Chains A and B, each alone.
Chain A
Amino acid sequence: MFDSVFGIHERALELRSQRMEILSRNIANADTPNFKARDLDFSKVLSETKDSQAIQATHAGHIGGSGLSRTADMVYTIPFNSSVDGNTVELSVEQAKYGRAAAEYQTTLRFLEGGMSAVRKALRGE
């Protein structure tokens, strides 16, 4: 019954936290030689997740799939400037991306909060 309350935001929150993980990897490896910065093509992955039906759990013992194969959907970012040690992480760019990803995560949270307060209101009969 409550499946439609959160809509796409439930999956979006999962994706957004995964993207933040990938960006944190880039920042952690800012000084690692030959490390290639990666990112998630968010809109592409989200549309795939939306279109394809996730594996259905037809038995209580089944474990649901996350619907995202992370290594397959990651893309390498192209740096503005190349560096001598082969590292393609540009710290300022990654910081900006991480900050924006955090804001987007909060946006999704806000939508979820809205859905929850709607359900709460309906239950209370306000």
Chain B
Amino acid sequence: MSINNIFGIAGSALNAQMVRMNATASNLANADTVASSAEEAFRAKRPVFQALLSEQQTNQGSQYVGGVKVAALLEDQTAPGQIYDPSNPKADANGIIYLSNVNEVSEMVDMMASARSYQNNVEVINTARELMMRTLDLTKV
């Protein structure tokens, strides 16, 4: 029944948005971490969403074609910032420390967009549930 599928589809979206919000939380938490080299510096994590267009693409056990899943968690490839600070214990031989490449402002914006999408899908579920209950009411005498 289609109404049941709506719960699955919107649920998969809630899940994907939650992964996105978790990635944002991790990025913000690590915004101020420093490292001794550019390779070790923290890089912002970005989830990549993918639509589930056929049965093959759906995760094991879920049948909700048309939902969304997190296909990959990629790292932001922007070059990390550098600061000359010889007093820092993490500084390299030249006295340079490497910052994370997290942009706090864009992370906050991403978090708001993610929260808004989450709310949208909650609303979809609420409406579907209400209609389901009304359909059940047909059997009331």
Q: Which A residues form the contact surface with B (CB < 8 A)?
A: 13-14, 17-18, 20-22, 24-25, 27-33, 35, 91, 95, 98-99, 102, 105-106, 109, 112-113, 116, 120
Contact = CB atoms under 8 A, between A and B. Distances in A.
Contacts of A25: 9, 51, 66-67
A108 to B, nearest CB: 10
Contact of A24 (B1, B20, B128): B128
Given A25-B9, A28-B13, A29-B68, A20 B51 contact: no
B93 interface: no
7 contacts: A17-B3, A27-B10, A28-B121, A31-B114, A98-B124, A102-B127, A109-B134
Chain B interface residue bracket vs A: 20 to 34
Interface string B93-110: 000000000000000000
A70 to B, nearest CB: 9
Interface of B: 1-3, 5-6, 9-10, 12-13, 16-17, 20, 48-51, 66-68, 113-114, 117, 120-121, 123-124, 127-128, 130-131, 134-135, 138, 141
A31 B17 CA distance: 9
Contact of A106 (B13, B114, B131): B131
Nearest to A26: B66
Contact of A20 (B2, B123, B134): B2
A30 B124 contact: no
A30 B51 contact: no
B134 A24 contact: no
- Of the candidates B16, B121, B127, the one having the most CB atoms from chain A within 10 angstroms of its own CB is B127
Given A17-B3, A29-B68, A31-B17, 17 more contacts: A13-B135, A20-B3, A21-B6, A21-B66, A24-B6, A25-B51, A28-B10, A28-B121, A29-B51, A30-B117, A30-B120, A31-B20, A31-B68, A31-B117, A35-B51, A109-B135, A120-B141
